[in-house]
Amino acid sequence: MKKILTLTAAACLALAAAADNGTQPRDRDDNLLRAALKGWHVRLSAGFNVGGTTPLPLPREIRKIDKYSPTFNLAIEGNAHKRIDDSRWGIMVGIRLESKGMSTDATVKNYHMEAVNADGSGRIMGAWTGHVKTKVNNSYLTFPLLATYAINDRWSVAAGPYFSYMYNGSFTGEAYDGYIRDQNPTGEKAEVSRATYDFSSSLRHFHWGLQAGGEFKAYKHLCVFANLQWGLNGIFPSDFESVTFALYPVYGTLGFAYLF
């Protein structure tokens, strides 16, 4: 999967390198393409997602985030943009292949935990106090539907909803150096050196949220952009009980686009 994204990104870089080296025949080809699309302008973009999958706000059970590490998250997108008549407003639709992942290490207290004890004694469940390390790595096919506004010839902004299908995902982690109380914070206490969990099979496949950002047209065929994607439904279904609070994907994207 990452090899495909990397090759696609390399192709985008090659297009960007030739952005302003076109000749008159190339310009005529662009004009013919735009005429065929009846005002729709096509672009291909590549960028990197940085962010996390987080509860909002942080629950009191999470006392401290000790470590956060973003993973290598590529986003490859093709979209089409059209101005509404002669106004500054327009619409943009697209399809994006992207990954969203991270790893965190946190100190928690009375944190609901369902895991498998590494000493072979079986499954544990209850109120965990200690450290929790979590790794998330999800891949999505995303469809943004945005309204755009041109501030001037170079700067523009865009905002609107997006809809995603998660076709591959993992949510794994471990609890270590702590203790667990059976069922609830007043239950029987047991020391646990390490326990692991894997909730990948319970991840939700359909997601939606809001996206907002802006772009700067650096050259005739090349622009740079940044946006924020804020998930509005959790990565687990509402009836999932192993994690007692909703986790939302919140990621920012920085990249460039080649304008055909």
Give the angle subtended at the CA of 168 by the CAs of 165 and 172, to the nearest 5°: 120
Digitized pLDDT (tens) for each residue of the chain, 260 residues in all:
554 444 444 444 444 444 445 444 556 556 545 544 677 889 999 999 999 999 989 999 999 999 999 999 999 999 999 989 889 999 999 999 999 999 999 999 999 999 999 887 788 899 999 999 999 999 999 999 999 999 999 999 999 999 999 999 999 999 999 999 988 888 899 999 999 999 999 999 999 999 999 999 999 899 999 999 999 999 999 899 899 899 999 999 999 999 98
Is the dihedral angle over the CA atoms 75, 79, 83, 84 positive or is it negative?
Answer: negative
**C-alpha count within 13 angstroms, C-beta hemisphere, residue 143:** 4
CB proximity list for 156: less than 8 A, separation 6 or greater: 148, 149, 150, 214, 215, 217
pLDDT of residue 48: 96
How far is Cα of residue 208 from the mean position of the Cα atoms in its chain?
A: 11
Where do the structural domains in the chain lie, given as residue ranges?
2-259
**Which class is 2-259 in CATH?**
mainly beta
